[in-house]
Chain A
Amino acid sequence: MSMVKFEKIKRPEKIGLPFMLDFYPLQDEKNTRISQFFKSLKEGHLTTTKCKECGKVLWPPRIMCPECLSESLEWVDLGVEGELYAFTEIRLGAPLGFVEDVPFCVGIVKIGSLLISARIDDAKYEDLKIGDKVNLKIVELPDSRVFYRFSKDKEQ
């Protein structure tokens, strides 16, 4: 007869979204040197850094210009309008934290010389075409973090 002891052990039934699997970055000045970007966003402004030495507008925002290595950067406002350069709709295969949103549109928005990827809200895939005007939208997370999206202009 076996003398081996069996014992049921406990494990947590559910583990919440682990901190580093949350896609949204830490935004305050304790965690990033570009916290000004998120401060501006909270006030309704999408901004980025521009190099004062060589004039290059950098996206995403930086603390150092990769063109000339200058740390002399200034914040510039990108305005509230963009033009849809490309888009698709996520129907299958969204990551954790986004599965509940399916289907949703994502796209690349042209603002001046920049091509910025973003969620495109308030539209279905069929409602969109390349060249459409889209407007800046800010989403607020429950923990007071923020992020930018774009929204289809209903006036069109």
Chain B
Amino acid sequence: MKQVAIVAGGEAKAGRRAASWRDLVQEAGKALFEDVDNLSPKDVDSIFVGAAQPERFAFLSYVAPLVAEYIGVTPRKVIARTELACVSGQAAIRYAWNCVATGMSDIAVAIGVEKMYQPDMAEAQTTMTCVLDREWDGINCFSAPPIFAVTAQRHMYEFGTTEEQMALVSVKNHHYSSLNPIAHLRKEVTVEAVLKSPVVAPPLKLFDCCPMTDGSAGVILVRAEDAKKYTDTPMYLIGSGQYAIGNVINNLASLAEWVPLKLAAKEAWRTAKITKDDVDIAEVHDCFTISEIMEYEGLGFCETGKGGQFIEDGEPYIGGKVAVNPSGGIMGCGHPLGATSIYHTFEILKQFRGDVDKGRYVEGAEIGIQHSLSGAANLHSILVCSRELR
């Protein structure tokens, strides 16, 4: 197996965009190829398109050839759409990585896209609700906010986590997204504003939830030995972990403790030959404030049940124990499902390059992880990225 590097990234501005699904992917594709020397779309032999629900959000299936056509790629090795709900983008990167590592592909693109805004909010919610088992959980209206609301309720009940502690996550991530030009939400919020924002599904308020966001982002993967042909600052993929337990709510390992995250993290650290203490940047899946708190715990940055205390102590800020979501996370940047993981992977590359606002720059970072989860948090997926080849 060959080692693999990411040599370029490109992204569309995230937000409530006056742009269609295919406009977004063209913006990201153009930015992607303008980010790299000596490489044009025609050199790419494989493409993976992360798209969670184009059937419903854009009324399109069979989207991989469409995207390839629009961004000028002529796939001749492997082409596929990857769908894994909110992990669809990371799935695209993982497949591209595998293809390059095995030698099946020389140059592969992973690009994600989602158009979340549509005229009818209820229709958008209908679309989201079929991610959970539609006939047994979705039917009871367990879409994203309710499932994370009951998760938060159990975490509060079992560990004493407070709504104020959850609000602190929103404050931190909106602070960083205010410094990120591609972010959807660029305004700071206060704890008071989070607590007073409209209740979506108690205990979750509007500012505990990520926004509905349109976006697209891509990365290019090549063999590590070839990376310097294309850039002076490649980023190396050195490990990964992915774990799923159950699907319907009844068959989750636990609501208040994310067991599959702990198992995915263990595997990520093992394959990358690092420990959690080596992680400088963690771009994690803060779809709701409770998610990030449970990710501090699941990734081992603090003990189970102590995630609220961890943010109260300022540990996930730059300069704390580990910089968590210096991009502004999903909370601030937005969550265009199929593109989210790719935005966050590109963020780590930009951090390594020093290509971010100094207010959110993690100086000297060597290791960054990108974590995504999907469904009722029954599936967790982690990529370990390194500035140096290890």
Contacts and interface: CB of A to CB of B under 8 A. Distances in A.
Contact of A93 (B121, B154, B248): B121
The bracket for how many chain B residues form the interface is 35 or more
A25 B135 contact: yes
A114 B122 CA distance: 30
Interface in B157-199: 157, 198-199
B71 interface: no
Contacts of A125: 202
Given A89-B202, A106-B142, A115-B249, A60 B136 contact: yes
Contacts of B137: 117
Given A88-B201, A93-B200, A117-B136, A98 B141 contact: yes
Interface in A82-126: 85-99, 104, 106-108, 114-119, 125
Contacts of A106: 140-142, 146
A91 B135 contact: no
Contact of A88 (B120, B149, B248): B149
A89 B134 CA distance: 19
A114 B150 contact: no
Q: Which of B126, B149, B251 has the most CB of A within 10 A?
A: B126
A25 B201 CA distance: 25
B291 interface: no
Given A23-B138, A96-B126, A118-B140, A91 B200 contact: yes
Interface in B249-278: 249-252, 255
Contact of B122 (A24, A94, A108): A94
A141 to B, nearest CB: 12
A95 B140 contact: no
B102 interface: no
B226 interface: no
B141 A119 contact: yes
A98 B138 CA distance: 12
Contact of B249 (A90, A117, A130): A117
Contacts of A98: 141
B129 A90 contact: no
B37 interface: no
A87 B147 CA distance: 9
A72 to B, nearest CB: 21
Contacts of B150: 86-88, 107-108
A116 B139 CA distance: 12
B145 to A, nearest CB: 6
B123 interface: yes
B146 A23 contact: no
Interface of B: 120-123, 125-126, 128-129, 133-143, 145-146, 149-150, 153-154, 157, 198-204, 206, 248-252, 255
